Structure 1
Amino acid sequence: MNTLDGNTRPVFSVVIPVWNEQEVIPVLYERLVQTMDSTGESWEVIFVNDGSRDRSLELLTDLSRRDPRVKVLNFSRNFGHQIAITAGFDYAEGDAVIVMDADLQDPPEVLLRMIEKWREGYDVAYAVRTKRVGETKFKLWTASAFYRLIRYIADVDIPLDAGDFRLMDRKVVLAMRQLREKNRFMRGLSSWVGFKQVAVEYERAARYAGETKYPLRKMLRLANNAITSFSHVPLQLAMYTGFFFAGLAGLGIVIAVVLRLFGHDTLTGQATTLVSVLFLGGIQLIFLGIIGEYLGRIYDEVKNRPLYLIADAIGFDAPVAPNSVTPDSLRTRQRDGQSSHVQLAERLPASKV
């Protein structure tokens, strides 16, 4: 596929965030090459090194030297999994962009079924886990509870048991590039942009090697970002709770006045008063914290810092001006003999080296 400037663009781009995955990278590369070569189309893979402290960057650099389809973005520090996916989107050139994890829990072979759905005309093919191998009962229960909670309270329809493993058409990626919020929940953003989407079921494998890169602390942070980014329910809950306790207090005053009018002593007791004050004080602090979370996100947006910084961009053909916008109009993609035109503005990434 040729771009407007005459350069050849791959049909598929695969984006893989990497953080301390030196044991997995060689096997991941071999399985990915075998899978993508079987499509008969041109492709590239963009590994986003998210501040790894092991030999991941060394291994990826060596792969890029041996295989020009392998490209590496090396962050200046660890910016997080969701930001790494964002950077991959910014640099991806393919007509379709695939996101997968590096730990081989997302089997590369599933990509072929996603590609088949894309060729049928779907803009997004997201993978839904029917089974999760090698994960604790606690992890399974908390993940299930989170997906059902966010689906219930979110402003958009976020599929159950679907992670970041998915394929997106280029026009979807161009739409995603316009969403530059700092606290990111990529699977929620994918649902927010819309387009024609379909599920692809698969069994999630156990990690090939190493330990999970998403411990409970990071899972809670991701859940917090998801809820505060896609729902106003926590704020509404604070308001409704305030109305409830205000009504309860008003009812208590009425009861106390009625009892007094009929000669009964009003309710007394320091213990009751102390418990009530502590309970209401705790409720107030909880909701102040919730409001603080939303205010903190506003503060992050106002600072307007870049989402990430690139220390090295390895294997890319030419430098690109930072934060520039270039028309991506009239690009033609062939699907089973039919062509379609994309006429969206393309936001280009920070400078490539």
Structure 2
Amino acid sequence: MLALFSISIFVLLLLKNKIVIKYPVGFNYICIFIVYCFFNALAQVGLTKAIIATVQWMLILFTLVVVYTSAVKNPEKFRTIFIKTLLVVCFVTLIYHLMHGQLTRYKLLGDAKYAFALTGVILLSCAYYFGDKSYLKPLFFLYPVILLSLERKGILAFHMVAFFYLFITIRPLYKFIILALCSLTALLLALFYDLSFLNSFTFFEYSDFEMLYLDEEQALWISNLHRQSLLTNGWDIFTMNPIFGVGPKMLPVYMDDYYINPKLGLYTHNVFLDTLIEQGITGLLLLLLPYLIHIIQSVSLRNKKDKVVFIALCLYSIFMLFFMSGGAPSMIIFYLAIFKGFIANKIDVQNITKME
């Protein structure tokens, strides 16, 4: 009820021109998904769950828009506060774990574990966009913490973005040398190395037989086994309901049918697959529609630095979302590239142009 009241007040003030909101180009098309989400849920799971699911989506998206409005109005001030807040979250998370005897693996505070790599990516993006190496100073302290966190997807995503920026900023001659060495290495491997193992190569650790006759006692303690079973069963649910999905919040209900132990019936830890299962192909395409419109219509992407930051944040988001469950943090990361105005926007572009 509080959420509905907050949204109602916000809409009322907006209609009376008491507040002004700003949003990235194309993000207004997310309203199509909101409408789809409500009617899809209404048809599949009833009015109550339809209202709950729609309100939850609206809260996340409204929050992004409100924060983006503040970022556009006062870009420098907001960017400073944004980065300092992320650093404080990292510091508090680190201190909390050290006080509890955790020298590594900082995962006791839930979604706070994602702050380390995210902060690193934001700092790298600011350093590249503004050409200001002072943004890299916190990384001297943050980088070891990123590694000690043992958050694998965060570590890999951070390094992926770091190497991307490094490749973009080095001289064309060095780029040519790197590409030539990579091509030569691939050619030598193809010619002189036995690649027959690729015939049986798979991204999954366990066989189909082990998935079909899952040892649930082992799955409770072995994370990779449990996650692979969730992906396998999740894909099976999706193939039976591909167009419109099974409805919001219904994935765990369907997943319970695959396990004897109800503790194992969770989300798949893959945002794209979770969305496909609950919202169907239609829902995922509508969620991606703002990206398509943004790429086609956004004037800022004509600027090289904006384009590079957009691609870097897309790389980070896509990689992270393949290993995260649905929720508010994942949706923020989902649209991080479109909302790059949190750290760089049109006013910043004008300032950079003047300096150049």
Same-fold call, TM cutoff 0.5: no
Structure with higher helix content: 2
Structure with higher strand content: 1
- Which structure has the bigger radius of gyration? 1
Tell me the TM-score normalized by structure 2.
0.26
Tell me the TM-score normalized by structure 1.
0.26
